[in-house]
Amino acid sequence: MAKVIVMTSGKGGVGKTTSSAAFATGLALRGFKTVVIDFDVGLRNLDLIMGCERRVVFDFVNVINGEAKLNQALIKDKRVENLFILPTSQTRDKDALTKEGVEKILDELKKDFDYILCDSPAGIEKGALMALYFADHAIIVTNPEVSSVRDSDRILGVLASKSRRAELNQEPVQEHLLLTRYDPERVERGDMLKVDDVLEILAIPLLGVVPESTAVLRASNIGMPVTLDEKSNANKAYTDAVARFLGETVEHRFMKPEKKGFLDRLLRRTA
Amino acid sequence: MRSTSQISERDAPFQLRGNNFTVMVLKLVAPDDPSFFPQLLSKIRQAPNFFKNAPVVLDLEELDESAGPADFIDFVVTLRQHSLIPVGIQGGTTAQQNAAFEAGLTIMPTGRPSREPEREFQRPAPGRAPTDPLPPRTPSPIGEAPPAPDFQKTTMIITEPVRSGRQIYAARGDLIVMGPVSAGAELLADGNIHVYSSLRGRALAGISGDTNARIFCHSLEAELVSIAGLYRVSEDLDASVFKKQVHIYLDDGYLRMDPLS
């Protein structure tokens, strides 16, 4: 049975789209047929991060409106087998999303895919509500910073009250915390919240800690999910997170400042 | 204040509803003292907007039988000249109550014996004279029926974390929360509030005016705590109770926070 995952945060700019791209790629690399959907209608970004922006013909909204068939809008990733992207519309707004329309598409995708990853827009309004409504799992992307934590807490409350599982009184949406842009050195200096501080407030299981990394920005700009950048720590962190999501026990890393060896310092290896 | 919501008559040209208001109580200690009004005026001048046309209830509990205002009508008029609007009295002898009624004031139910030499507030039966019936409460519409609402189970229990942005109101009873209460969440209860975890949001107990309501929590990190309208924000929390197991209650009009030991 296909699982619907929502990547959400409440706050903007914390790394939802980057994480969606990386996580979906990670799942596909593990052999699961995965589709990632951009719910940020009007602010189309996922296709850029996935590097398929030049292949977008039809989009999510076209399919909802019946202007295109689903498989006309789905874009198959060229690098990773089993990975598909459903881009969104740049010209419409969130009102184009309807519960019925979204449900119809998800139901159709469920027949074909193992995982459906919904990349949520920021906020707690319609776009975000539509992205999380049908979710079985929610990955809460949080930065180690108070306002991000507060907003994540808010979106957890929304999940617990406004998701379909909540409305139908079913088993609650499974929550996972993905702490991104974590800089252990700044944490040690006291500039950033510690993992434990965030966990204490949000009280949900930790899926992974993604270190602040120059590789992420580079990957975004060249349109490559960071999971494909084999050298970067961010890649390792996402790969670990995917493994944990699939039920494997993987020790958490990147939570302490790296001991810089002589060679590291000499080569100034980027994270 | 106790509000009795009556049967609602849907077809009537009006609607009767119970509601709760916070009203200042003016406790009369020596109303005939010549410095009474000058002192009152200087108090009012400290916060003229706050006192402007504020309704007040006159509390006669502390007065001797003979020490009431000589002329209630006159007293009420003078208070009105000081921009206070007396609406009722609390306590007092029958004679005082009659005089107040003549002056257009209502008699507010106090929930305690109207005039008892000993002043036993919360302790039930034992201290009371055996001949004395239950304290006069709001007249029960059901005649002699026992005061059932006191035993109605209205406690609300929340087992999951209370997330930011959520508001929970336990009407006519206590609120028990077993998970953490996040910053930006709000707990409201007519009765007590218990949080068996961290309290980081707001907690307002006794919001209908029950000054005996209390707040208990395992770790006090609240943004705001309030009992019967008296509140304190986190900035004013004492460092000695921060992140401690704390018990919050009203003591003689002050919000007290004691560690639970």
pLDDT at B151: 54
Chain A hits for B198, CB-CB cut-off 8 Å, are 200
Q: Are B86 and B56 in contact (CB under 8 A)?
A: yes
User: What mean pLDDT is predicted for residues B162-172?
Assistant: 92
Domain range for residue A104? 3-268
At residue A254, does pLDDT exceed 80?
Answer: yes
Name A150's Cβ contacts closer than 8 Å, sequence gap at least 6: B164, B182, B183, B184
At residue A23, does pLDDT exceed 70?
Answer: yes
A34-48, A202-216, B64-78, B213-227 — which is least confidently predicted? B64-78
Return the sign of the alpha-carbon dihedral for residues A85, A91, A94, A98.
Answer: negative
At residue B203, does pLDDT exceed 60?
Answer: yes
Report CB contact under 8 Å: B160, A153.
Answer: no
Q: Are A90 and A9 in contact (CB under 8 A)?
A: no
Of the two residues A110 and B147, the one the predictor is more confident about is A110
Counting one residue from chain A and one from chain B, the pairs whose CB atoms sit within 8 A come to: 36
Mean pLDDT of chain A: 93
Find, in chain A, the residue whose alpha carbon is nearest to that of B199.
Answer: A201
At residue B253, does pLDDT exceed 90?
Answer: no
Question: What are the distances in angstroms from CA A234 to CA A56, A206, A215, A230, A263?
Answer: 27, 16, 7, 9, 21
Of the two residues A94 and B11, the one the predictor is more confident about is A94
What pTM was computed for the model? 0.67
Report CB contact under 8 Å: A154, B160.
Answer: no
Determine the CATH number of domain B154-259: 2.160.20.70
Return the sign of the alpha-carbon dihedral for residues B70, B72, B73, B74.
Answer: positive
DSSP B162: B
Question: Would you place residue B113 in the very low, low, confident or very high pLDDT band (cuts 50, 70, 90)?
Answer: very low
Nearest CB to B180; choose among A154, A160, A203: A203
Domain ranges of chain B: 19-132, 154-259
Question: Would you place residue A263 in the very low, low, confident or very high pLDDT band (cuts 50, 70, 90)?
Answer: low
At residue A174, does pLDDT exceed 90?
Answer: yes
Measured CA to CA, the distance from residue A115 to residue A125 in angstroms comes to 24
B19-132 CATH fold: Alpha-Beta Plaits (3.30.70)
Provide the domain count of chain A.
1
A248: burial class by Cβ within 10 Å (0-12, 13-18, 19+)?
A: exposed
Q: What is the dihedral of CA A120, A123, A127, A128, to 10 degrees?
A: 50
A4-18, A131-145, B90-104, B125-139 — which is least confidently predicted? B125-139
Global ipTM: 0.74
Of the two residues B124 and A84, the one the predictor is more confident about is A84
Mean pLDDT of chain B: 79
What are residue A142's DSSP bridge partners? A179
At residue A164, does pLDDT exceed 90?
Answer: yes
pLDDT at B95: 82
As a whole number of Å, the end-to-end CA separation of chain B is 33
pLDDT at A260: 67
pLDDT at B36: 86
User: What mean pLDDT is predicted for residues B155-178?
Assistant: 94
Winning range, highest mean pLDDT, from A75-79, A89-93, B5-9, B117-121: A75-79
pLDDT at B121: 36
Q: What CATH code is carried by the domain that includes residue A39?
A: 3.40.50.300
Question: Would you place residue A16 in the very low, low, confident or very high pLDDT band (cuts 50, 70, 90)?
Answer: very high
Question: Would you place residue B29 in the very low, low, confident or very high pLDDT band (cuts 50, 70, 90)?
Answer: confident
Find, in chain A, the residue whose alpha carbon is nearest to that of B165.
Answer: A154
Measured CA to CA, the distance from residue B120 to residue B127 in angstroms comes to 7
User: What mean pLDDT is predicted for residues A175-182?
Assistant: 97
Q: What angle do CA A92, A95, A98 make, to 5 degrees?
A: 115
Per-residue pLDDT tens over the stretch A74-121: 999 999 999 999 999 999 989 999 999 999 999 999 999 999 999 999
Question: Would you place residue B10 in the very low, low, confident or very high pLDDT band (cuts 50, 70, 90)?
Answer: low
A-contacting residues of B 156-215, CB under 8 Å? 160-166, 179-180, 182-185, 198, 200
Q: Which of A8, A132, A150, A153 to mutate to test the interface with B (most CBs of B within 10 A)?
A: A153
User: What mean pLDDT is predicted for residues A125-141?
Assistant: 97
Q: Which of A217, A225, A208, A220 is nearest to A271 (CA)?
A: A217
Beta strand pairing call for A174-182 and A34-38: unpaired
Report CB contact under 8 Å: A157, B165.
Answer: yes
Q: Are B52 and B20 in contact (CB under 8 A)?
A: no
Phi/psi of residue B47, each to 5°?
Answer: -150, 70
Measured CA to CA, the distance from residue A65 to residue A51 in angstroms comes to 25
Report CB contact under 8 Å: B183, A150.
Answer: yes
Q: Are A234 and A211 in contact (CB under 8 A)?
A: yes
**DSSP symbols for A127-143:** HHHHHHHT-SEEEEEE-
